[in-house]
């Protein structure tokens, strides 16, 4: 685990983050007696969170190492929900890298535990399988799996108290946004714009990072559909947050600028200037 120490330092920017990392690892390693399972459980959740943070700063190797550690700790205490969630998150890492085959295989591996996990955890694995098929351009299995996911989300909502704490975000708004992203991947621009617009309308304004990401996806959907004016109207208010808070959203807006330039849109320079201004204010 030692090679990962620096990741936490870069994320937190303070020595305290590295101290926390070392403390968690030592606690998990040395826990004894009746509290051992609880300590390792917390360590697994911590490792999963750090993996997500590592992925956010594009440290792919560290993210994979932390997901592997979380998966090991989960099985050490027999927590199938954490183990399954970790596989789903590794599938998400593969999806982020554009690897459809690995996304599908990891998601299907997570789905093997369907009878032993909560509906929400199963739904997360199922939607990742759907997104893998969408990435591969396979519309039929992607949409079939999304229908299955929707049913699982409803079951999870009916028994929310039975879901793991880390599934707090997994609701109908989140699913609507995921479905919008999937339709975007499948080049169904009208459906993507409808779903993303509806999802964003229900997403709290305080979720600036998430709103930047899904907003950038909506911008792309409008741009791909040939509606550059609406793409601009949606995109300009989120440029600052995209550049400052979400590298994926930033890249999406850069791709939109490239698309508009290839189509010789009259709005391309406005997008380019907004991106340049946001970068300067961040530097």
Could you tell me which residues come within 8 angstroms of residue 41 by beta carbon, excluding any fewer than 6 positions away?
A: 73, 77, 79, 82
Q: Which residues of 196-211 are buried (b: 16+ CB within 10 A; e: fewer)?
A: bbebbeebeeeebebb
Query: How do the domains of the chain map onto residue ranges?
Result: 1-74, 79-170, 191-283
pTM for this entry: 0.86
Query: First vs last Cα of the chain: how many Å apart?
Result: 32
Q: What does each of the 283 residues of the chain score in pLDDT, given as a tens digit?
A: 333 444 444 444 444 456 666 777 777 777 777 777 788 888 899 899 999 988 988 899 999 999 999 999 999 999 999 999 999 999 999 999 999 999 999 999 999 987 899 999 999 999 999 999 999 999 999 999 999 999 999 999 898 889 998 888 788 999 999 999 999 999 999 999 999 999 999 999 999 999 999 999 999 999 999 999 999 999 999 999 999 999 999 999 999 999 999 999 999 999 999 999 999 998 7
> Residues, the chain, total?
283
């Amino acid at each position: 685990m030692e090679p990962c120490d620096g990741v936490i330092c870069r994320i937190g920017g303070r020595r305290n983050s590295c101290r926390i990392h070392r403390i968690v690892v030592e606690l998990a390693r040395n826990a004894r007696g009746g509290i051992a399972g609880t300590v390792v459980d917390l360590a697994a959740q911590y490792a999963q969170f750090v993996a997500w943070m590592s992925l956010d700063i594009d440290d792919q190797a560290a993210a994979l190492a932390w997901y592997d550690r979380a998966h090991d700790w989960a099985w050490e205490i027999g927590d199938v929900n954490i183990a399954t969630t970790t596989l789903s998150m590794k599938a998400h890492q593969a999806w982020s890298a554009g690897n459809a085959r690995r996304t599908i295989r990891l998601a299907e591996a997570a789905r093997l535990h369907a009878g032993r996990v909560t509906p929400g955890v199963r739904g997360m694995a199922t939607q990742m399988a759907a997104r893998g098929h969408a990435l591969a351009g396979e519309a039929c299995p992607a949409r079939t799996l999304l229908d299955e996911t929707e049913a699982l989300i409803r079951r999870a909502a009916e028994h929310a108290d039975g879901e793991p704490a880390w599934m707090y975000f997994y609701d109908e708004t989140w699913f609507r946004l995921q479905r919008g992203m999937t339709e975007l991947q499948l080049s169904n621009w009208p459906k993507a714009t409808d779903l993303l617009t509806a999802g964003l309308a229900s997403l709290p304004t305080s979720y600036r990072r998430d709103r930047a990401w899904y907003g950038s996806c909506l911008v792309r959907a409008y741009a791909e559909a040939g509606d550059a004016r609406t793409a601009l109207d949606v995109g300009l208010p989120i440029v600052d947050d995209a550049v400052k808070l979400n590298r994926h959203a930033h890249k999406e807006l850069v791709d939109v600028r490239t698309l508009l330039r290839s189509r010789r849109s009259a709005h391309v320079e406005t997008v380019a200037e907004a991106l340049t201004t946001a970068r300067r204010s961040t530097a």
